[in-house]
Amino acid sequence: MKLLSKRHQDQYLELVNELPLVSITSERHLDVAQDMVDRLTNQDKLDGGSQAYLNALCDLIIVYEDQHHQLPAASDAGLLRHLLEAKGVTQNQLHKETGLAKSGISEFLSGKKPFSKAMIGPLAAYFHVPTSVFTANIGKK
């Protein structure tokens, strides 16, 4: 099975010779890889070889960052605030469209109260996200 044409294979191999596709093992290596991603993504159009190389390099960067640069879970208040902004709705609209208590929404946004199990279903349905988005902080203090 041939995945790339000869011309695209040549471009792919040229990039591999410049920066081999191997596991990223250091912050310096990550910087070099990110510079290559920037260089490739700044081009108007990539041929098949360059695109295949870019995809593989991005996969390697993701693996390294997942292992070495994990982001902490968002607070319940931060998550709800983000979802409200992303959907362009107010607390009052959320209250009216979900039936959730205004006071409860305010307490969640002020950080006084974590998401309750009863609140997760309506929020997930309203924002069209999986319920797991809201469960990261359940049981944590």
Which residue ranges form the domains of the chain, and what is each CATH number?
6-68 (no CATH), 76-134 (1.10.260.40)
Q: Both tokens of residue 12?
A: 């792919």
H-state helical runs in 88-116: 91-98, 102-109
Say if residues 101 and 95 touch (Cβ distance below 8 Å).
Answer: yes
User: From the CB of residue 22, how many other CB atoms can be counted at a distance below 10 Å?
Assistant: 10
- Residues 113-137 pLDDT 10s: 888 888 888 998 999 988 888 876 6
The pLDDT of residue 1 is above 60: no
Mean pLDDT, residues 69-83: 83
- H helix count then E strand count, the chain: 7, 0
